[in-house]
Amino acid sequence: MIISAFEAIDYSPFVVFAEPFPYAVSPRFFSNAAGASALTWLETEAPWQLVETDFYEQYEFSFIDAHVPTSLAFLKDDDFLGSLRDTVQALFGVTLGQRIDATAHRLIPEQRIRIHNDFLPGGETHRLLIQLNHGLEDKDGGFLLFFNSNDPEDVHKVFRPVHNSAVAFAISTNSNHAVTTVHGSERFTLVYSFYAER
């Protein structure tokens, strides 16, 4: 079944927060069909590559280079990306440029992402994360953490990796975040990155 860009999105209203940096949370993002179809592909056929840096080890790929099944073409469709941009602009009261990076991340047991802020001068300014999995339990780990500072003990908010939930946030020197170690199952995230209008 081919899912159109507009059939794919079925999100619940976002709740927006200002501190310690602007972020917004929605308990539901995709339609049931789109979320299930995307998760199946990520588990079975997606072109994962292991990437290791000084603060994380995970599997990932970019949608620019990936062969996406026709049924999931919406994941990098211009209409879908434009709708995501409109959503992020409305949430944060900003104007964004045309560039949107689309990637997917996969964490397996014993992998984690240490505290960092993703800020680079001239780099992305906002990010939208869509979490996909088969219902991770607390014992499985993989919690997204937001921090009040760059101190790993100074936790502001803990987000459970709830399937089909979404978190958007503004990237700055203050946007410190991390993902705790995954202990069971696998944690998948679609990551859409936005840039300021130039």
Task: Please answer whether residues 60 and 49 qualify as being in contact, where contact means their C-beta atoms are separated by less than 8 angstroms.
Answer: yes
The tens-digit pLDDT sequence of the chain (198 residues) is 677 766 788 889 999 999 999 999 999 999 999 999 999 999 999 999 999 998 999 999 999 889 999 989 999 989 999 999 999 999 999 999 999 999 999 999 999 999 999 999 999 999 999 999 998 999 999 999 999 999 999 999 999 999 999 999 999 999 999 999 999 899 999 999 999 987
Report pTM: 0.95
CA distance 119 to 126: 10
User: How much is the pLDDT for 1?
Assistant: 63
CATH T-level topology, domain 5-160+174-196: Jelly Rolls (2.60.120)
Look at residues 60, 57, 62, 65 and name the one whose alpha carbon lies nearest to residue 49. Answer: 60
User: What are the residue boundaries of the structural domains of the chain, listed by start?
Assistant: 5-160+174-196
| Element containing residue 144 per DSSP (H, E) | strand 144-147
